[in-house]
Structure 1
Amino acid sequence: MSADLIPQPNAPRPPRRVLYIEDEPLNVLLMTEMFRDQAGWQLQVEPDGASGLRAARQDPPPQLLLIDMNLPDMNGLQIVAALRADPATAQLPCIALSADAMPEQARAARAAGFDDYWTKPIDIAGMWAALEKLLP
């Protein structure tokens, strides 16, 4: 067996890439700060749906998307519909973020294709636990 094929137990793991589509500067600042000192995580922020869709289609794509439900150019339901319709992005885990805590809104988001629905303000400990489950 060549040395190239031997697993390296301490080899650095590539960062887990998260795309955050959000237009509110305060929310962006909060999420950026939450990710800043987290080893093994990389956050990319896009301010609107169009740029978020372009970023989701990068090669390689992000491993998970956090999507605000109310963006200046489209809503989260439109974004997740576009992602699910594209074979290149159809399987990406997508989490809806919204200040709307109404159960029917969460059900509608899940029915539209979101994997989960988180309400703002974000529970930081809960967010990290969920991210670790989604991207171990």
Structure 2
Amino acid sequence: MVKILLVEDNEMNRDMLSRRLKRKGYDVMLAVDGIEGVEKAALQPDLILMDMGLPVLDGWEATRKLKADPKTSQIPIIALTAHAIAGDREKCLKVGCDDYDTKPVEFPRLLEKIQALVTSRST
């Protein structure tokens, strides 16, 4: 079973997305801020969904930490952000995210991105 770490501070978004992912057969771990996300990444999920606007340690810095650590650098990260302005995708990729998606999440599109990254990691 594919394990996804969902790092999201908004309870409603976290609940909705985790339930939908579980219904699709994913094992979902949750973190509510960047520090908890970095800690839980040590459990080696297959993929991380990272909200970029997190409290305590934002998603930008959490991603930098994860990609700088040899133990977690290979875990694909999809940035999730409500800030869908020009240049945001490039900014997310520059800090180390492997892909980018906007909120509110368009679930079928997000599933395609998850599947593509998980498949490419396992080959």
Per the normalisation by structure 2, the TM-score is 0.92
Query: Aligned residue for 2:6?
Result: 20
Query: Aligned residue for 2:36?
Result: 51
Inter-partner Cα distance in structure 1 for 2:96 and 2:40: 19
Number of residue equivalences: 119
1:73 matched to 2:73? The reply is no
User: Residue 33 of structure 2 contacts residue 58 of structure 2 at CA under 8 Å; is this kept in 1?
Assistant: no
User: Residue 46 of structure 2 contacts residue 76 of structure 2 at CA under 8 Å; is this kept in 1?
Assistant: yes
Q: State the shift of 1:84 in Å.
A: 1.1
Query: Aligned residue for 2:74?
Result: 91
Inter-partner Cα distance in structure 2 for 1:82 and 1:36: 27
Query: Aligned residue for 1:3?
Result: none
Amino acid at match of 1:43: V
Unaligned runs of 5+ in 2: none
Q: Which has the higher helix share?
A: 2
Task: Provide the secondary structure at the position in 1 that maps to 2:50.
Answer: strand
Unaligned runs of 5+ in 1: 1-14
Q: State the shift of 1:74 in Å.
A: 1.6
Per the normalisation by structure 1, the TM-score is 0.83
Amino acid at match of 1:25: E
Inter-partner Cα distance in structure 2 for 1:84 and 1:36: 26
Task: Provide the secondary structure at the position in 1 that maps to 2:3.
Answer: strand
* Large movers: runs of 4+ above 3 Å: none
Q: State the shift of 1:103 in Å.
A: 2.2
Q: State the shift of 1:56 in Å.
A: 0.2
Task: Provide the secondary structure at the position in 1 that maps to 2:27.
Answer: strand
User: Residue 5 of structure 2 contacts residue 49 of structure 2 at CA under 8 Å; is this kept in 1?
Assistant: yes
Query: Aligned residue for 1:29?
Result: 15
Inter-partner Cα distance in structure 2 for 1:69 and 1:75: 6
